[in-house]
């Protein structure tokens, strides 16, 4: 690829990074986060805002998905953020200097591994066309329909007689593809949108590190992030990794990022701006994939119940609830709007030749939820121990969780455990009611693991922290 063409892919990343930086500036709870965590949330906010707003404008106001609308939507938070930054900027003599903490050896290892893998992904996405199956068959195909007619109501989806795979899938990521291709004036089959998907991998690593650092400390967070960076599936798998155009990694980032904002507020308090930021990310999860309709409300419910976790007095629980309800209301508002948008859009999509309903039967749920357990467990284990996809991670992780059980006695563990269990439960039920359970497990179980990966890996870091603290034989630079 010549440099001029590579610039289109980088410009596509900037199309979302710039409005994300503006939104991060406008939301104090995000603006005051540590740099790594702020960078991750800024990127997610940029994708959520730009693609989500274009989705809504096209559906409700029939705004054409062309360059003028795309650039206007992206520019609005950039300008607002610039004004906010100029107004609050302090003179150099008054600005406080933050004391930088020296990095440990394992933190440098995690940083190096993350950077190297991310750069390899970037080179791949800039120089090669898309080669995965669902990325071309479903998400990029939908993007073609949408771009051709400039609307989220293309004839291929809204008129009967067209063969369309999964016509009711949400369109957030296809709209993001359209935004990149239109803004960069790329050809119909150009792959300038691929770096958009590749960027989710370093964001995923930053979410894991920042989420684990808050609860488990720097050493455990670094070891966990290093392990995640070396996993093949999240980065390079053609059936769901960042090198593909599947929506599972974006969904994992939106769900995980929103959940961490809701659960990681100091002393369980939740600022209104943190609630709004989390709501925007969870709304994006709703519009990214069908599972987001379940995951986003679950995250809100877990955040609402978090102050009620046993161990606090009744009066303190009431006080925490009073402090959080406004922020939770702000978080629920974007999610509710996203659900309304999705259901309203789906109402105009007729049944097509292939859909979820035709591949499943609800009559299999009982007693299949019990009788299919041995078969499904065997197939799921075979996917998790695949060395090509996961190395030895899922063989070792249960041992770490069991040996470090003392680290799982903290209050955030229960909501994190439920948050990790919901995507896996959805996947298990899907396989149970599927007419081809073996094929469903083989093709989807790893992707459900990816959707649950952020809370799962934070739980892994908590157990690892307990083991590191008791491993006196390790050098101090490598343990908590």
Q: What is the pLDDT of residues 22-45, one digit of tens each?
A: 999 999 999 999 888 899 999 999
Top-confidence residue, 410 or 255: 255
- Band (pLDDT 50/70/90 cuts) for residue 367 is confident
Instruction: Answer for the pair 206, 39: CB distance below 8 angstroms, yes or no.
Output: yes
**Strand partners for 434:** 360
Would you place residue 368 in the very low, low, confident or very high pLDDT band (cuts 50, 70, 90)? confident
- The mean pLDDT of the chain is 89
Question: Percent of the chain having pLDDT more than 70?
Answer: 89
pLDDT mean over 426-452:
92
- Tell me the range of 21-25, 94-98, 213-217, 317-321 where mean pLDDT is highest: 21-25
Tokens of 115: 């950077």
Q: How confident is the model at residue 358, as a pLDDT?
A: 66
User: Residue 58: pLDDT band by 50, 70, 90 thresholds?
Assistant: very high
Asked whether residue 95 carries a pLDDT value surpassing 60, the answer given is no
Residue 389 pLDDT level (bands cut at 50, 70, 90): very high
Q: Does residue 3 have a pLDDT over 80?
A: no
DSSP 132: -
Look at the pTM and tell me if it is higher than 0.75. Answer: yes
User: Cα(110)–Cα(230) distance, rounded to whole angstroms?
Assistant: 9
Cβ 441 vs Cβ 431: under 8 Å: yes
| Residue 286: pLDDT over 50 | yes
- How confident is residue 211, by pLDDT bands cut at 50, 70 and 90? very high
Q: How far apart are CA 176 and CA 194, in angstroms?
A: 11
d(CA 93, CA 35): 22
Contact (CB, 8 A) for 448 and 427: yes
The 3-state DSSP class for residue 106 equals: helix
Weakest-pLDDT range from 69-78, 120-129, 259-268, 456-465? 259-268
pLDDT top residue among 386 and 322? 386
What CA–CA distance (Å, rounded) separates 201 from 229?
9
CA 433 to chain centre: 26
374's CB contacts (< 8 A; 6+ apart) are none
Token representation of residue 222: 């670094």
């Amino acid at each position: 690829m010549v440099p001029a063409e590579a610039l289109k892919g980088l410009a596509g990343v900037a199309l979302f990074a710039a409005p994300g930086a503006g939104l991060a500036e406008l939301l104090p709870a995000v603006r005051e986060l540590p740099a790594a965590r702020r960078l991750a949330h800024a990127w997610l906010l940029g994708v959520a805002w730009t693609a989500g707003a274009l989705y809504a404008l096209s559906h409700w106001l029939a705004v054409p998905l062309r360059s003028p609308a795309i650039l206007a939507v992206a520019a609005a938070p950039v300008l607002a953020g610039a004004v906010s930054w100029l107004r609050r900027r302090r003179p150099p003599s008054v600005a406080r200097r933050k004391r930088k903490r020296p990095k440990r050896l394992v933190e440098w290892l995690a940083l190096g591994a993350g950077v190297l893998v991310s750069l390899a992904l970037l080179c791949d996405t800039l120089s090669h066309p898309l080669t995965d199956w669902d990325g071309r068959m479903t998400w990029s195909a939908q993007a073609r329909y949408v771009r051709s007619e400039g609307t989220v109501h293309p004839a291929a989806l809204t008129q009967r007689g067209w063969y369309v795979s999964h016509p009711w899938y949400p369109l957030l990521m296809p709209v993001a593809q359209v935004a990149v291709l239109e803004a960069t004036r790329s050809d119909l089959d150009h792959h300038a949108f691929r770096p958009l998907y590749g960027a989710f991998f370093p964001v995923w690593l930053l979410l894991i590190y920042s989420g684990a650092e808050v609860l488990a400390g720097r050493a455990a967070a670094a070891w966990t992030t290093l392990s995640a960076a070396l996993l093949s599936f999240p980065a390079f798998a053609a059936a769901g990794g960042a090198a593909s155009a599947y929506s599972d990694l974006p969904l994992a980032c939106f769900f995980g990022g929103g959940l961490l904002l809701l659960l990681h507020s100091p002393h369980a308090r939740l600022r209104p701006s943190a609630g709004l930021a989390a709501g925007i990310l969870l709304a994006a999860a709703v519009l990214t994939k069908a599972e987001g309709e379940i995951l986003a409300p679950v995250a809100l419910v877990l955040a609402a119940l978090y102050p009620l976790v046993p161990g606090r007095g009744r009066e303190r629980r009431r006080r925490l609830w009073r402090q959080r309800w406004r922020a939770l209301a702000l978080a629920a508002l974007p999610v509710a709007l996203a659900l309304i948008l999705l259901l309203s859009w789906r109402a105009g999509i007729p049944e097509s030749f292939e859909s979820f309903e035709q591949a499943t039967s609800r009559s299999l749920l009982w007693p299949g939820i019990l009788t299919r357990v041995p078969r499904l467990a065997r197939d799921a284990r075979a996917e998790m121990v695949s060395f090509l996809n996961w190395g030895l991670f899922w063989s070792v992780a249960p041992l770490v969780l069991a040996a470090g059980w003392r680290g799982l006695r903290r209050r955030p563990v229960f909501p994190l455990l439920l948050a990790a269990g919901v995507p896996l439960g959805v996947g298990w039920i899907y396989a149970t009611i599927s007419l081809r359970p073996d094929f469903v497990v083989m093709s989807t179980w790893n992707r459900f693991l990816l959707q649950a990966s952020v809370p799962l890996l934070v739980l892994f870091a908590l157990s690892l922290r307990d083991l590191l603290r008791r491993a006196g034989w390790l050098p101090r630079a490598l343990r908590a």
